[in-house]
Structure 1
Amino acid sequence: MSYKSKKISVIIAAAGMGKRMNSNINKQYILLNDKPILFYTLYKFEKNEFVDDIIIVAKEDEISYCNKNIVSKYGFKKVKDIVAGGKERRDSVYNGLNAIDVESDIVLIHDGARPFVDNEIINSSIKEVIVNKATVVGVPVKDTIKIVSDDNIVESTPNRSHLWKVQTPQSFSYSVIMDCYNKGIENDLNVTDDSMLVEHFGYSVKMIMGSYKNIKITTPEDLVMGKNFLE
């Protein structure tokens, strides 16, 4: 079945404060070459021919700001709604899922502060999730990884060839992700990303090659890197 026969929705998670940035504003609204980081993220999904609509999850007290200074200012037509985030990322994504049209077939969940996602990654995610029901984007790790004890003693060195650094979007069949989130919230499962929740409930998740440029901007050093990518 072709992409265009599927209704594809995107959740942009933009409710995190980003304490590591040492900024007095949410990292999503920090400027990169005179435009907010969130602008670049939204633009990639707005311009993708297969994406039908977008839900932004923002801090409750930033919804008006986001609407005025991002969505309206730059004319994003695919943004269907801006909803309030929750206490944890899990709760924020769940709020976003509950705002999605129940007719949606596929949901892509993406970090608002990850502005260098590209069409190839988005399209690969959509293509693979039609077949596999759950996918996650990532890249093989370049460094050796050590597992250490609580007192920083090295316990083991896992095989690097099996280790990937996870990115977003993470993409799912709408029915699968809603079912897993409903169960996860009911059982108060604390997970750090969406694929972890899906894995918990027995679904296999397909890893898709991302890009080493598809960084999440969380520190001042990342801002410097992001400016270099734009230039």
Structure 2
Amino acid sequence: MNAAIIVAAGSGTRMGPGVDKLFLPLAGQPVVLHAWRQFDASPWVQQIIVVVRDGQQARFQALAAEASLGKPFQVVAGGAERQDSVANGLAALHPEVELVAIHDGARPCVTLELIEATFKAAAVHGAAVAAQKVTDTLKEADAKGFIRRTVDRTHLWAVQTPQTFRVEVIRRALGAARQRGLNLTDDTAACELIGQPVVLVPSPMPNPKMTYPADLLYAERLLR
């Protein structure tokens, strides 16, 4: 049995004051519903956990009812930090779940093919992450905003979500981060703490995260 945790507990402050980016309209439906529908449609997923800001549970329940989603799901309250929200999602998993995909609710362009690829890779390696090879020239800057040096991009990748794991692997990894008092914004970084290899799964299609207003315009074109 496999599951997906959709992390939708962020505040989204960079989108603008008083804006809940997950409910902004995008190609005819709220941002968060795009990713939710993809995991609902994936044959690799049997349970969905949506982690939201406390107090928003009823709003997400209503969204799911209106969208007529088919798979069993739970809406649970998030924590103070992202890794706390992920931990709350893990705690809600069915005991028979072996593999879990963790996905940002603000990444609406995830495809069924990418979801499948990360599950297949995690089944073999224990941990896998969607990623794209860095193609831009990278510069390191000094404190005043001047270029210090050019960074070799040969082995650099930009990681995305889904990040998919054997359940026992991600629980152990997040436990190690908690024991060390670390606040990590990326789940694969916790795997590095315990020496767990994480395989990169190339994402062939754009898979942007909605952070700024211009991202919505880009995603609108992609989805249409």
Common fold by TM > 0.5: yes
Aligned residue in 1 for 2:197: 204
Aligned residue in 1 for 2:90: 97
The one-letter code matched in structure 2 to 1:108 is A
CA contact under 8 A between 1:59 and 1:84: conserved in structure 2?
Answer: yes
The one-letter code matched in structure 2 to 1:46 is D
TM-score of the pair, normalised by structure 2: 0.95
- CA shift, 1:79, in A, is 4.2
The one-letter code matched in structure 2 to 1:14 is A
Match of 1:21 among 15, 38, 49: 15
How do 1:15-164 and structure 2 match up within 5 A?
15-22=9-16, 24-68=18-62, 70-164=63-157
- CA shift, 1:153, in A, is 4.3
CA contact under 8 A between 2:52 and 2:77: conserved in structure 1?
Answer: yes
Aligned residue in 1 for 2:182: 189
Matched residues in 2 for 1:95 and 1:211: separation? Answer: 31
Percent identical: 35
Matched residues in 2 for 1:199 and 1:79: separation? Answer: 32
Aligned residue in 1 for 2:4: 10
Match of 2:222 among 201, 204, 229: 229
What is the number of residues matched between the two proteins? 224
The farther-off stretch of 39-48 and 144-153 is 144-153
CA contact under 8 A between 1:55 and 1:82: conserved in structure 2?
Answer: yes
Matched residues in 2 for 1:184 and 1:156: separation? Answer: 32
The one-letter code matched in structure 2 to 1:65 is R
Secondary structure at the aligned position of 1:161 is classed as coil
Structure 1: tracts of 5 or more residues without a match: 1-6
Secondary structure at the aligned position of 1:169 is classed as strand
Structure 2: tracts of 5 or more residues without a match: none
- CA shift, 1:103, in A, is 1.4
Matched residues in 2 for 1:74 and 1:220: separation? Answer: 25
- CA shift, 1:170, in A, is 0.4
- CA shift, 1:92, in A, is 0.7
Secondary structure at the aligned position of 1:60 is classed as coil
2:177 is the counterpart of 1:177: no
CA 201–153 in structure 1, closer or farther in 2 if over 3 Å, else same: farther
Matched residues in 2 for 1:185 and 1:224: separation? Answer: 37
Once the two structures are superposed, residues 127-151 of structure 1 have per-residue CA deviations (whole angstroms, 9 ceiling, x without a partner) of: 1111100111110112111222333
CA contact under 8 A between 1:71 and 1:79: conserved in structure 2?
Answer: no
CA contact under 8 A between 2:129 and 2:161: conserved in structure 1?
Answer: yes
CA contact under 8 A between 1:56 and 1:79: conserved in structure 2?
Answer: no
Aligned residue in 2 for 1:3: none
Secondary structure at the aligned position of 1:162 is classed as coil
TM-score of the pair, normalised by structure 1: 0.92
RMSD: 1.4
Matched residues in 1 for 2:75 and 2:41: separation? Answer: 19
